Amino acid sequence: MESALSKLEALFDHPLYNMLSPPIPEEDWLLRVKPKVKASEKSSQMWVSASQDGYEDVQWNSSSNSHPPWLRFHLGISRWQLYPHRDPNMEALTQQLATSRIVSTVQKSGGTQLKLVMSFPNYGQAMFKPMKQERDDETNYNLYYFSDFERHNAEIAAFHLDRILGYRRVPPVVGRLVDVVKEIKDITTDRKLARTFFTSPVGNVCFYGQCSYYCSTEHAVCGSPRDLESSLAVMLPDLSLATRRSWRSPWRRSYSRSKLAKWETESDYCSTVKKTPPYNKGTRLVDFIDLVILDFLMGNMDRHHYETFEKFGNNTFLLHLDNGRAFGRHSKDEPSILVPLEQCCRIRLSTWLRLRLLSLPQYRLSDVMRASLSHDPLHSVAPLLSEPHLAALDRRLQTVLETVSRCQKQQSKDGGGNEVIFDDTAHLKDMVTSAG
């Protein structure tokens, strides 16, 4: 582990993760604090809930030093990433998620499976997803991807992998042991959720909530007897402050047991996508390929939509949300996830260089993932990813690099220019130069 930690530190010290970037223009910040606020607008009521029980008195001003970690995270979101590399706020934010007192718990509406919204005394909020199966349980081969359980450890591992790939597009996630009675049952104001609690025949406290799938006594979530493993992901800014747009994935699966999607039957499907906005200009296509690579490495087949912040239009990063169906199998890779890369033969230069770096022994992906996950609080209970899952990451990374290599060879054979690699580093250098 000491060797792996050294590799992780060396990776994050590498120039590919520390490229010089120009100052961020005012319009490229998602949220900004008003420099001057009228006395009539200073009421702290704009931050507090209807019931102030358990919440701290608000003592914030325009100085970032007075802001709680979740607010610093929100104010640090820019057009290009959710948080910066070596974010000085990350330790405080993850510490809040892992240890801060929970003062309110309600069920999150929407979605297909059980999830809760938990609130902290400083008005921060986190998305809670419970442990539903053991870490080493593989997805049943006869189970369709849209019927699989979500995994709390997959949400945690996705955050770490996304950061290791240099994306920084998954909101920070931390593992936590939650007391089902003290931190959910006794403090919830959600009557529908409260009605679903019961004690199992062996004395464990259980609940099942209300949702489209697996919300029944047969699929209840149970503590042991009260402690329950979970993932807590920091919530993004409220939609009233930062509207998000949902985009249907061009390579969305049919979600049918018998029908195939167009991309599964048309070998030239990508040429149509490339002519369709917003994929016909800018970086949207390579942004999507970044997400495809993340999903392939994790084995996530359930990426039917993705989101962006409305404020930034089409010229911005993609949010890598909802990764609970990742890391279902380590014994089998799913080549269909990688089809967009195979059909489009397009990838960012910075992504390609980092992938090659992670294939080298001194920065091996499995080693740096093992090291990164060891920082999570639940690592003391058991490793977040088993060794077969870590080995699968190395195997799948090699497949991605081989796919890019085949694209380059095919293009060379066709006599075209080097159109496989999109040079985003040159664009960054131009920005730095223009910024003086």
Known binding-site positions for ATP:
113, 129, 150, 233-236, 307, 322
Which residues does the annotation place in the binding site? 113, 129, 150, 233-236, 307, 322
Instruction: Give CA separation, 136 vs 69, 143, 220, 299, 367, in Å.
Output: 33, 17, 19, 15, 19
Q: To which residue do tokens 């010089």 refer?
A: 20
What region, left, alpha or beta, does residue 214 occupy, with left being phi > 0 and alpha being psi -120 to 50 degrees?
Answer: left
Which residue, 309, 280, 415, is CA-closest to 27?
309
Could you give the CA distance from residue 218 to residue 216 in angstroms, rounded to a whole number?
Answer: 5
Catalytic site residue from 190, 302, 367, 376 = 302
What region, left, alpha or beta, does residue 29 occupy, with left being phi > 0 and alpha being psi -120 to 50 degrees?
Answer: beta
For 344, half-sphere exposure in the C-beta direction (CA atoms, 13 angstrom radius) is 27
Q: Is 146 exposed, middle or buried (0-12, 13-18, 19+ CB in 10 A)?
A: middle
Indicate the pairing of strand 421-422 with strand 347-348.
parallel
Could you give the CA distance from residue 134 to residue 360 in angstroms, rounded to a whole number?
Answer: 31
SS3 168: coil
CA 287, distance to chain mean position in Å, is: 14
Which stretches does DSSP call E strand in 324-419? 347-348
Is 268 one of the catalytic residues? no
Active site residues: 302
